[in-house]
Amino acid sequence: MDLLQEFNAVDPSPVIRRPDYSALRSQLPALDFACDQPLPESVISYRNFYRLNFPESSATGIGTFKSTGFELVAQYWLVENPRGTLFICHGYFDHTGIYGAAIRFGLERGLNVVAVDFPGHGLSSGEPVAIDTFLQYREVLEALLRKAKGKMPEPWHGMGQSTGGATLLSYLQFSLWQPFDKIMLLAPLVRPARWHLRKWMFYLGRYLMPHPSRGFNINTHDAEFSRRQAHRDPLQSPVMSIRWLGAMVDWLKVFPKTARNPKSILVIQGTDDGTVDWRYNMRVIRDRFPNSKRVIVRGARHQMINETQPYRQQILKALDDWLAQ
């Protein structure tokens, strides 16, 4: 049985009732990175469900902050004698809960880790998975960084998956304040795969179907991760947003025209990625960032931080090599 057949097979395990996290945000304190308040029981339940408890962390916290009209939720994990701070930017449809592997990566390297749920994702406010412009993601990230200024140790590093990679690219190109040392992009989004077909979804859907059904693609070799994401994750949206597609269309038009940036960044990409047009994206990112380093992982799919061995081994080695430079 191949992966697709296994994924679509009837799950013999008992039906699991999905927890409801809709009221969790209202129980959270303002984000201050102080770790001076115990985690609410609802947060403990949430973290147990998503396996976000890490023995490498000496202290942890969660809180809310406001940006661009949204109330955002950010979480952080601290280590003893940190060597810096890693900020994680998730992809479209994603949220902090499914980035345990990325959080653990940072903690095991002696870094404090901060992760935010973008508008319409995870625990943050907003119409599900909708946005008006990718620049709002940039503004959210900048607001988070300003909250962390003076509280999270330097150097600061950024890791972005897919749309999270686009967020970091947008930040590098449009923000005056540039606090990041190392930037690591995993399958970053500029143009999606099969764009010649998907663009008609946008141009027709904005009139006929504002919330088209999402569908769940097999975007990693980890069958259990894919199954959990599709069937057991209460924070996954079953629909996508035409507003988000419009924002992506604008991003596709704007980014290739931005100024060339001399900053050296890392771009890791899998060759079996069916979500983004990775060949085009690698070219246009290299054109805007001529000093970027590109690492190709043969056979890896889109959800890179949640890939299986041996793909994860190659990805982690590329990340480690970059941080060591």
CATH number at residue 314: 3.40.50.1820
Residues 39-61 have a mean pLDDT of: 95
C-alpha dihedral (61, 65, 67, 73), degrees to nearest 10 = 40
- Give the contacts of 312 (CB within 8 A, at least 6 positions apart): 101
Measured CA to CA, the distance from residue 119 to residue 136 in angstroms comes to 9
Q: What is the pLDDT of residues 133-160, one digit of tens each?
A: 999 999 999 999 999 999 999 999 999 9
Q: How confident is the model at residue 10 (pLDDT cuts 50, 70, 90)?
A: very low
User: Torsions phi, psi of 212, nearest 5?
Assistant: -65, 150
Give the pairing of strands 85-89 and 156-161. parallel
**Are 74 and 115 in contact, with CB atoms under 8 Å apart?**
yes
Residues 113-138 have a mean pLDDT of: 96
**Residue 49 is assigned to a structural domain of this protein:** yes
Q: What was the pLDDT predicted at 212? A: 61
- The range of the structural domain enclosing residue 152 comes to 22-200+245-324
**Residue 220 is assigned to a structural domain of this protein:** no
Q: What was the pLDDT predicted at 8? A: 39
- In the predicted structure, residue 164 carries a pLDDT above the cut 60: yes
Q: What was the pLDDT predicted at 223? A: 85
- In the predicted structure, residue 15 carries a pLDDT above the cut 60: no
Q: What is the pLDDT of residues 55-76, one digit of tens each?
A: 999 999 999 999 999 999 999 9
**Residue 46 is assigned to a structural domain of this protein:** yes
**Residue 193 is assigned to a structural domain of this protein:** yes
Q: Which is more confident, 13 or 305?
A: 305
Residue 153 in tokens: 């140790």
Q: Which is more confident, 141 or 17?
A: 141
Give strand pairing partners of 117.
73
**Residue 261 is assigned to a structural domain of this protein:** yes
Q: What was the pLDDT predicted at 219? A: 84
Q: What is the pLDDT of residues 77-93, one digit of tens each?
A: 999 999 999 999 999 99
How many CB atoms are closer than 10 A to CB 3? 13
- In the predicted structure, residue 209 carries a pLDDT above the cut 90: no
**Reported pTM:** 0.91
- Report the range of poorest mean pLDDT among 9-13, 80-84, 137-141, 237-241: 9-13
**Residue 225 is assigned to a structural domain of this protein:** no
Report the number of distinct structural domains present in the chain.
1
Q: What is the mean pLDDT of the chain?
A: 90
- In the predicted structure, residue 14 carries a pLDDT above the cut 50: no
| Nearest partner of 94 among 165, 155, 24, judged by Cα | 165
Alpha helices in 209-299 (DSSP H): 223-231, 242-254, 278-288
**Residue 229 is assigned to a structural domain of this protein:** no
Q: What was the pLDDT predicted at 90? A: 98
Residues 113-129 have a mean pLDDT of: 97
- As a 3-state breakdown, the chain gives helix, strand, coil percent values, each rounded to 5, of 40, 20, 45
**Residue 4 is assigned to a structural domain of this protein:** no
